[in-house]
Amino acid sequence: MAALASVQIATGAARAAIDPPVALAPMAGITDLPFRRVVAGFGAGLVVSEMVASREMAQAKPSDRARARAELGLHEAATAVQLAGHDPRWMAEAARMVADGGARIIDINMGCPAKKVVGGQSGAALMRDPDHALRMIEAVVAAVDLPVTLKTRLGWDDCCLNAPDLARRAVDAGVGMVTIHGRTRCQFYKGRADWSAIGAVVRAVPGVPVLANGDIRAAGDAAAALAASGAAGVMIGRGAQGRPWLLAQVAAALRDAPVPSAPTGAALVDLVAGHYEAILDFHGRDLGLRVARKHLDWYLTAASGAASLRRPLLTATDPRAVLRLLPEALSPAPPVTEAA
């Protein structure tokens, strides 16, 4: 496989480069600004915001819209804002708002499988109505002078594998990059992502970068996904939980460059403590404590940390107690030896 090259996104006259083409997937309740900053700090080529409901944003009070724009980190480097919705009018209005706020790339969500999203005829539900999906894409492209990308799945179910056709029509409408999760909506996250099926999308939009997404948890997975699909890059979601350095490691491995080691010891403690405090600052203490628990849990799992401290760490309500426990909690548990 050739060394991984940077990719260029073009929508009309708007251009953006993704270098390296290893991106962080948008994940609701996970890829908030603090987490995106940590991942980007290690060298990800692109990080994507949590999904933004377009109508709710467009109809919000001015003060709420200002807060939402601040929370999206629109001026952050290598950041895309993902919009979701069903009405072209509100998608266009939300796109204009985030563009005016400094967004650099807008991503359109047509792949979220969540029942609440699909029930509102957004996300992956749009794959069942490609004509309406195209009107949404056209509205966003016409509304902004920014690169516009699309994230979707292979199709609604095994009888509706229409991602290649949707991608072709989206590119004709101005979309500059397509990301495909290698499952149908009806699969949710069950089974294995079909990276080879993503190849049909790659062949449908020659010259336009396609990112492969789904089940990429290590450099070997990324290499296999690229080989099976012919994609220009990868997008990593759940594999980065507790391992925000993974994207940088994958990018280095795909470029035959020295792979940076995962932080350990004091460096890992400093990283987790900084992320923890950033979560509390960003969300406030009460919500921040709840949000931080899942990240702490993932860090502990990735570090094979002290199991005996998992419960005290995850149930602590005093941030000072959490910070005191981190050094011991993140130390790898000693190996279990059999009695002689």
**CA distances, 175 to each of 148, 160, 185, 203 (Å):** 5, 22, 22, 16
Q: Which residue in 102, 206, 191, 205 sits closest to 152, CA to CA?
A: 205
Check 112, 159, 160, 186 and give the catalytic one: 112
Give first-to-last CA distance, the chain, whole Å: 49
Q: Which residue in 20, 2, 4, 150 sits closest to 83, CA to CA?
A: 150
Q: Measure the CA–CA gap between 64 and 294, rounded to whole angstroms.
A: 26
For residue 127, the 8-state DSSP code is G
Task: Judge whether 186 counts as a catalytic residue.
Answer: no
Q: Packing angle between helix 219-229 and helix 246-254, nearest 10 degrees?
A: 50
Q: Which residue in 74, 78, 76 sits closest to 20, CA to CA?
A: 78
**Cα-Cα-Cα-Cα dihedral sign, residues 247, 250, 256, 259:** positive
- At which residue do the structure tokens 């490691």 appear? 249
> What residues act catalytically?
112
